[in-house]
Structure 1
Amino acid sequence: MDWCEELTTRKKQTAATSLPEVSVSDDGVARYLHLGTPWVQGSMKMAAPFDIDLEYVQRMMAWLLFVEPERVSRRHAMQLGLGAGAITKFCVKKLRMKSTVVELNPQVISVCRSWFKLPPDSAKLEVVLGDAALEIRNDQWLGTVDALAVDLYDHDAAAPVLDSAEFYKDCRALLTDDGVLTVNLFGRSSSYESSVAKLAEAFGEEALWAFKPTREGNTIVLAQRTPTRPTRAELMARAEEAKTRWDLPAPKWLRVFKPVKTEPERA
């Protein structure tokens, strides 16, 4: 079955499957997105809708530590899973990047545009309604993405929906030579070590960096298409730039962000 045939089949399967109902709540300071449960699937500061509210989502911007700040606006970002649109809005409005987002649930797109200030499609923004696992195999995206953010969870937020070595290999194929993947590995039933092993199979262990978990349990892992090992001084300089230019708490990241070292196999 070729890509187009598989896409048609998956669309029919998705149409036959009931997607979770999308709801919104707020506390007067922040607005929250829910997918049929009390679990928060995204948030927005109502007084600063284009800032990134949640700590783990801020950390998904750590790819900025590996690129020249002056070239960021000329790059292409892609998000798999829209959530409340925080990364997408930040890339388009703050970083001035071309941005593509793939979202399976049409309700999420509608709610983000009505309640979370997601901009309409434009030369800078394309929202694709579709299955991320299939869309990333579309030839038009191969080798075009500089910053790929993956935050794909079911409505129970129990584990990543897509978390295989094959999926991560497809993600790697999207990236430019100096492109970077960031992925959220939070999940009550997910295994961090297993996910990292799959990422290492796809990217190589030397390409991986990781944060310590947030208080809520979100662990952000970064994978480079072409591994590099910048010095701490270089990373700090980029972190200070990210703080000055885009008001991200990047200098604090370096306290909890380092290359991944997997456990050696035992005889």
Structure 2
Amino acid sequence: MTNLIKRASAEARAFSKTRKTRGNTASKQVDADLDNAPVIEAPRKPRFAPVTFSEEGGVRYLHFGTEWVQGAMRLSKPQHIELEYAQQMMSWLLFLATPARIVQLGLGSASLTKFAHRYLRPAKVEAIELNPAVVVAARTMFELPHDDARLAVRELDAWDFVHDRANHGTIGALQIDVYDATARGPVLDSVAFYRAARACLTDAGIATINLFGDHPSYVRNMKRLKEAFDGRVIALPEVHEGNRIALAFSGPALEVSWAALEKRARLLESKLGLPAHQWVKSLREANAENGKGNKSDKSDDTFAI
């Protein structure tokens, strides 16, 4: 994802100053020097769209200068996860007890961060956000609390975060929602990025990724996710906002009965108010679709990945 540039040697730069007086021979020498120059990574130069807001029906929405919704908060329930696709980003709870470390890549309106911080004790919750204006908006307009012993919001590039070896093997649940103003697909979606994200997970960790279903980027992202996670990826059906949430699994093979998932869903609904029963239904649909034509498939009784 990082742009690459070619760096000419000091000699080539000095030589280029006299290229006009030396004719075509000098020009060819400079070109040859540039062709053989080492390739280095250029610093990322983010260009941020304006952070804007709207309100309708008691819900405040976050935008990046366009009509596309980047997050939402119901004013009467600021700790509630308002949007359905954002609720699905918590579907890893069907498979994992509360891990020691939960990380969101992309803060948005901070609905996931606030929810995890308030309800998923004693986990340490971190949000990684590159745009400082989004952090300010989350604090002032969406009731994100200030950092404390369990909460940390860091102004950092998600690419740099996942490639930092200090984070590898330390995250139980990783929630990836990295969009720009166009909102037509993740801005970080290479195999290298997804492999680094997988490296951040613990031995039995799960990543949830917000994809845009009605867009060519969806097929590309699913292909790259499956390459990075050895095929252990499943996507929930598209919700009305057009988003599709993918779950990517790391660690040993997982096999759990649908009955056990239904039992877990009832617990999540009663304790956290999340629509977990619908998640199980969606997983069944996705699992059945993935298992078409496989006569040995045990999807009627178990979810296996």
For Structure 1 versus Structure 2, the TM-score category normalised by the shorter chain is 0.7 to 0.9
Q: Are residue 89 (structure 1) and residue 141 (structure 2) matched?
A: no
Bigger Rg over Cα? 2
Q: What residue in structure 2 maps to residue 225 of structure 1?
A: 250
Q: Is residue 2:278 matched to residue 1:252? A: yes
| Distance in structure 2 (CA, Å) of the matches to 1:75 and 1:51 | 22
* Contact in 2 for aligned 1:172/1:225 (Cα 8 Å): yes
Note if contact 1:80-1:149 (Cα within 8 Å) is conserved in structure 2: yes
TM-score computed with the length of structure 1 as normaliser: 0.87
Q: Which residue of 2 aligns with 1:212?
A: 237
Which range moves more in the overlay, 120-129 or 21-30? Answer: 21-30
Change (3 A) 1:188 1:209: closer
Determine the structure 1 residue equivalent to 2:21.
Answer: none
The 8 Å contact of residues 95 and 246 in structure 1, kept in 2 or not, is answered as no
Give the SS at the match of 1:147. Answer: strand
Q: Which stretches of structure 1, 4 residues or more, deviate above 2 A after TM superposition?
A: 187-194, 258-264
Note the alpha carbon deviations across 1:209-254, whole angstroms, 9 max, x for none. Answer: 2210002211101011123121101111111111011000101112
Distance in 2 (CA, whole Å) between partners of 1:240 and 1:149 is 23
Report the counterpart of residue 4 of structure 1 in structure 2.
none
5 Å-filtered alignment, 1:1-267, equals 10=43, 13-14=44-45, 17-68=46-97, 72=98, 74-96=99-121, 97-186=123-212, 188-205=214-231, 207-226=232-251, 227-257=253-283, 258-259=286-287, 261=290
> 3-state SS of the aligned residue for 2:192?
helix
Cα distance in 2, alignment partners of residues 104 and 262 from structure 1 = 39
Shift of 1:189: 3.6
Contact 2:169–2:200 (Cα < 8 Å) also in 1: yes
Query: Distance in 2 between the 1:190 and 1:130 partners?
Result: 28
| 2:208 match: secondary structure | strand
- Post-superposition Cα deviations, 1:165-188, rounded to whole Å, max 9, x if no partner, equal 111100100000111000011165
User: Retained in 1: the 8 A contact 2:229–2:250?
Assistant: yes
Cα RMSD of the aligned pairs, angstroms, is 1.9
Deviation (angstroms), 1:18: 3.1
One-letter code aligned to 1:213: E
Cα 1:36–1:263 change in 2 (3 A) is farther
Q: Which amino acid aligns with 2:64?
A: L
Task: Give me the identity figure in percent.
Answer: 40
Aligned equivalents of 1:129 and 1:211: distance in 2?
30
Provide the rounded CA distance (Å) in 1 between the counterparts of 2:106 and 2:153: 10
1:85 shift after superposition: 0.3
* SS, match of residue 108 in structure 1: helix
Unaligned 5+ runs, structure 1: 1-7
Paired residues of 1:148 and 1:181 also in contact (CA < 8 A): yes
Write the distance in 1 (CA, Å) between the matches of 2:264 and 2:65.
Answer: 39
Please give the alpha-carbon distance, in whole angstroms, between the structure 1 residues aligned to 2:89 and 2:200: 17
Between the aligned partners of 2:59 and 2:75, the Cα distance in structure 1 is 5
Q: Is the 2:213–2:238 contact (alpha carbons within 8 Å) kept by the matching residues of 1?
A: no
